[in-house]
């Protein structure tokens, strides 16, 4: 069977990426899926700071409802948390084959424990639980090529129509939000069925 490429636009600062991190690997780890990991840093893929502050109370209500339904913890991190280093670290985690645990553990550190993953103390703690050493994490953060990659991802997201996160792109089909994973699954199943015919 031909692999199906799925672009994944993801910002560690998004609570909806936190929700998606609990379910998306059920879809993405299928043997015929080629994950094209596209992490974003800073405010890329998110509402502007002004709009985010306006949305914050409603977003937290919404995410709290989702967390109750999913039976997962929810302790929002400081609003000043910068996700860029987490995104840089994820590129090394992908290279070393520990991307899934890295995403899960970093999101837990931030959204279940409420810690600022922009502070290396907390990011290192999560990375170590995932199997990424402090030296590997630091090397990823210091590598200017990784920062360039994040900038390229932001431009690609705009070109792909990914105006929010998480976004999953399969060809011309764009699935935005943790609540679109069922639609993504249905689309992938339809593609598989077409290949079998």
Virtual torsion, Cα 192, 26, 30, 186, nearest 10 deg: 10
Q: Which of 14, 21, 48, 53 is catalytic?
A: 14
10-32 burial code (b ≥16 CB/10 A, e <16): bbbbbbbbbbbbbebbebbebee
Give the orientation angle of helix 144-160 with respect to helix 134-142, to 10 degrees.
70
* Cβ proximity of 164 and 176 under 8 Å: yes
167-170 and 173-176 strand pairing: antiparallel
Q: Does the active-site annotation cover 14?
A: yes
**30 phi/psi in degrees, rounded to 5:** -60, 145
The total of other beta-carbon atoms located within 10 Å of residue 132's CB is 25
Q: What are the catalytic residues?
A: 14
């Amino acid at each position: 069977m031909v692999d199906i490429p799925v672009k994944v636009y993801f910002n560690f600062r998004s609570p909806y990426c936190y929700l998606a991190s609990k379910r998306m690997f059920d879809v993405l780890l299928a043997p015929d899926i080629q994950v094209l990991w596209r992490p974003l840093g800073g405010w890329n893929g998110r509402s502007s700071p002004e709009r985010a502050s306006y949305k914050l109370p409603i977003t937290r209500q919404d995410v709290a409802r989702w967390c109750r339904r999913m039976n997962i913890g929810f302790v929002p991190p400081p609003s000043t948390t910068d996700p860029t280093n987490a995104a840089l670290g994820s590129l090394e985690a992908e290279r070393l084959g520990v991307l899934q645990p890295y995403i899960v553990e970093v999101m837990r550190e931030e959204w279940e424990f409420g810690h600022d993953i922009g502070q290396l103390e907390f990011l290192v703690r999560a990375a170590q639980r995932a199997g990424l050493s402090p030296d590997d994490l630091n090397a990823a953060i210091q590598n200017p090529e990784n920062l360039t990659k994040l900038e390229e991802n932001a431009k690609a997201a705009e070109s792909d129509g990914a105006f929010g996160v998480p976004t999953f792109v399969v060809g011309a089909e764009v699935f935005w939000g943790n609540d679109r994973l069922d639609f993504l699954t249905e689309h992938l199943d339809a593609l598989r069925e077409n290949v079998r015919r």
